[in-house]
Amino acid sequence: MATKAAFKRLTREYQNIQKNPPPFIVAHPSETNILEWHYILTGPPGTPYENGQYWGTLMFPPEYPFAPPAIRMHTPSGRFQPSTRLCLSISDFHPKSFNPAWEVSTILIGLLSFMTSEEMTTGSVSASEAERRVFAARSRWWNSTGGGSHVSATPGVTRTAKGINNVKAGDGGLKFRTEWPELDEENWTWLKEHRIDTSTGQILPDSNAPTRCSPETSALRRRPNGSAPGIGAVMEGGHVAREAGQGWARRNRLWIGLGILFWFILKY
């Protein structure tokens, strides 16, 4: 339970962040617990996270602002391990370095800045730019379906809005929908418009669709495949398709050429 000082401080900060939201950031406290905040970072232009929708939580201690929050990002990003506490100077890993003058907006601006850098810490992972763009393209799908479990629930996973500190794929998107109902509705409209298979996050085939598509939908045709620690990497389908599509004649052109030359010599 929050102290009176923490409650007063977080209430004021919520009013401030509503009036003047930082660029690419929205946040609000849970209706049932003012110490539990939910944020959405939108990937800035010119970064591998462009247009990505990254959902996470800040869990403040009762003695805030004299102690920092635990910071987690639930949406797979290729930058952080999903639902893992992040070791940052603004997080509960370093309580002595936390400045009580820092606010929620300060913390989230710092998180976004760290996300777009390449500095490593506890909870961060390595991934290529292509991999991160795939995760960005799939972020809305992941948030609103719980990683594809909206239609078919994962065995052994109870659909509940509790346990927000450790959000994993498999809840059918319930936790995200509970905190972000309007964004969830927008996401489902987006999934429908882009013909996204809700169980896989891949684009459904359409024989009438033009062959060219936007970079965002192109990224959706790729599939994370497990090279980045804890979250997976991108399977670059174009390279595989090129090799599979090479004809027999092209692969054996050297032997064909030698055969033609040998036949010419024997004939003449």
Give the residue numbers marked as catalytic. 87
Residue 86 sits at the vertex; the CA angle it makes with 145 and 202, to the nearest 5 degrees, is 25
Pairwise CA distance, residues 247 & 115, whole Å:
44
**Where do the DSSP E strands lie in the chain?**
25-29, 36-42, 53-59, 70-73, 223-224, 234-235
Listed as own residue / partner, the contacts of 2-5 with beta carbons closer than 8 Å and 24 or more positions apart are 2/34, 2/35, 2/60, 2/62, 2/64, 3/62, 3/63, 5/65
State the number of CA atoms in the 13 A half-sphere of 83 facing the CB: 13
Pairwise CA distance, residues 198 & 23, whole Å:
30
- 12: tokens are 């004021």
Residue 259 sits at the vertex; the CA angle it makes with 255 and 261, to the nearest 5 degrees, is 120
CB 124 within 8 A of CB 81: yes
